[in-house]
């Protein structure tokens, strides 16, 4: 509850925990998409991510084409019970995915084997400097959205064979919206990559918190600096909002971190000390002083 301690008092945190005690942190019906991931080098110098031979980084989703093809399915769930609706929904999602795969293949053929890409590039500029987002000193109307955006399209030809996506450095990957959660974590030779490999060997490649998708991020306790496990991007972002003491995958993970016995110190632990010191000064006290260990590893 560290993040809530900065904005709520004791009663506020208590109210939050009680109000959300019966609300599950994870949707039990959600399942990650299946398929085998590979990466292929393109003539643009980037590796492109594929799932079962469908490029994921194109930015082309064929939404209007799929909607038109499935127009006659509208209203099919009316009058059905919840169980039947769920089964129907899963079938329609699978059908829509198959249609996207079909449209992607047709597009690939139309472009003579080249893969079309579509992006909206946005940036802020004052005429001298260029940034992804406006600085805090910019006028309020510039804070809400970039000043400039432009749609860019191009096509890519494949020049290499499929490789393991985890071996492709981030700088050589074709990025796309949501791609950070799909591209496997890079297994390089730096210290963080070595820790990631240790965690994978210790508890497997799936997220150690939810167990539903690939673990990407080396999660660590910001108080002690010790690694807790390998988690997906969603769990890394929301794990610490879990209000449960037990009976929840996130609570079980936090109560007994899989990597605790490995005693691996996160490379960013020293920076956490600086950030937490500012928070402690704001609160006026250190909430878990006895558990801290700021001795740097030599």
Query: Would 259 be classed as within a structural domain?
Result: yes
119 in Cβ contact with 151 (< 8 Å): yes
Lookup: tokens for 101: 């795969």
Query: Would 19 be classed as within a structural domain?
Result: yes
SS3 5: helix
Q: Chain-wide mean pLDDT for the chain?
A: 81
70 in Cβ contact with 92 (< 8 Å): yes
Query: Would 287 be classed as within a structural domain?
Result: yes
For residues 232 and 287, membership in a common domain is answered with yes
Least confident among 24-38, 65-79, 196-210, 250-264: 65-79
288 in Cβ contact with 213 (< 8 Å): no
pLDDT of residue 294: 44
The residue out of 112, 128, 157 marking a domain boundary is 112
**Number of domains forming the structure of the chain:** 2
For residues 20 and 96, membership in a common domain is answered with no
pLDDT of residue 136: 74
For residues 67 and 108, membership in a common domain is answered with yes
For residues 190 and 228, membership in a common domain is answered with yes
The residue out of 112, 128, 144 marking a domain boundary is 112
For residues 190 and 103, membership in a common domain is answered with no
- For 82, phi then psi, to 5°, come to -60, -40
For residues 71 and 8, membership in a common domain is answered with no
Query: Would 122 be classed as within a structural domain?
Result: no
The yes-or-no verdict on residue 253 having pLDDT over 90 is yes
For residues 283 and 207, membership in a common domain is answered with yes
CB contact set of 192 (below 8 Å; sequence gap of 6+): 218, 267
| Model confidence pLDDT, tens digit, residues 101-126 | 777 777 777 777 788 888 888 888 87
For residues 226 and 275, membership in a common domain is answered with yes
In this prediction, residue 298 has a pLDDT band, given cuts at 50, 70 and 90, of very low
For residues 7 and 100, membership in a common domain is answered with no
Query: Would 134 be classed as within a structural domain?
Result: no
| Model confidence pLDDT, tens digit, residues 197-220 | 999 999 998 899 998 888 889 999
Q: What is the distance between the alpha carbons of residues 222 and 254, in angstroms, rounded to a whole number?
A: 12
User: What is the extent of the structural domain holding 6?
Assistant: 2-27+185-291
For residues 284 and 196, membership in a common domain is answered with yes
In this prediction, residue 295 has a pLDDT band, given cuts at 50, 70 and 90, of very low
Instruction: Of 213, 222, 193, give the one whose Cα is nearest residue 291.
Output: 222
Q: What is the distance between the alpha carbons of residues 154 and 100, in angstroms, rounded to a whole number?
A: 19
Lookup: tokens for 125: 């500029």
For residues 14 and 58, membership in a common domain is answered with no
In this prediction, residue 36 has a pLDDT band, given cuts at 50, 70 and 90, of confident
For residues 195 and 283, membership in a common domain is answered with yes
CA 1 to each of CA 137, 150, 250: distance values in angstroms, whole numbers, following the listed order: 31, 41, 13
Query: Would 154 be classed as within a structural domain?
Result: no
Mean pLDDT of 60-84: 75
Instruction: Of 75, 64, 174, 67, give the one whose Cα is nearest residue 115.
Output: 174
Query: Would 39 be classed as within a structural domain?
Result: no
**Residue 217, H or E segment:** strand 217-220
pTM surpassing 0.75?
no
Q: Which string of b and e fits 23-51 if b means at least 16 CB within 10 Å?
A: eebbeeeeeeeeeebbbbbbeeebbbbbe
1 in Cβ contact with 245 (< 8 Å): no
Query: Would 242 be classed as within a structural domain?
Result: yes
The residue out of 64, 82, 112 marking a domain boundary is 112
């Amino acid at each position: 509850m560290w993040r809530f301690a900065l904005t709520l008092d004791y009663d506020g945190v208590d109210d939050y925990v009680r109000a959300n005690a019966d609300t599950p942190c994870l949707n039990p019906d959600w399942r990650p998409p299946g398929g085998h991931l590979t990466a292929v080098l393109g003539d643009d110098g980037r590796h492109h991510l594929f799932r079962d031979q469908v490029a994921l980084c194109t930015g082309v989703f064929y939404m209007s084409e799929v909607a038109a093809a499935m127009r006659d399915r509208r209203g099919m769930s009316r009058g059905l019970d919840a169980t039947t609706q769920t089964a129907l929904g899963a079938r329609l999602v699978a059908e829509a995915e198959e249609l996207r795969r079909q449209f992607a293949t047709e597009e690939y053929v139309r472009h003579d084997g080249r893969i079309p890409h579509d992006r909206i590039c946005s940036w802020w500029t004052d005429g001298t400097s260029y940034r992804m987002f406006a600085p805090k000193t910019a006028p309020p109307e510039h804070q809400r959205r970039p000043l400039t955006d432009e749609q860019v399209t191009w096509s890519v030809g494949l020049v290499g064979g499929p490789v393991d996506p985890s071996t492709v450095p981030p700088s050589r990957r074709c990025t796309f919206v949501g791609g950070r959660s799909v591209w496997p974590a890079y297994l390089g030779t730096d210290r963080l990559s070595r820790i990631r490999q240790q965690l994978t060997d210790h508890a497997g490649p799936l997220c150690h918190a939810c167990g539903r998708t690939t673990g990407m991020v080396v999660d660590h306790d910001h108080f002690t600096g010790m690694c807790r496990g390998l988690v997906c991007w969603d769990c890394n972002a929301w794990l610490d909002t879990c209000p449960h003491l037990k009976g929840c995958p996130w609570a079980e993970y936090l109560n007994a971190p899989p990597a605790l016995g490995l005693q691996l110190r996160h490379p960013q632990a020293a920076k956490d000390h600086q950030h937490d010191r500012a928070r402690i000064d704001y609160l006026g006290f250190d909430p878990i002083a006895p558990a801290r260990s700021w001795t740097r590893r030599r």
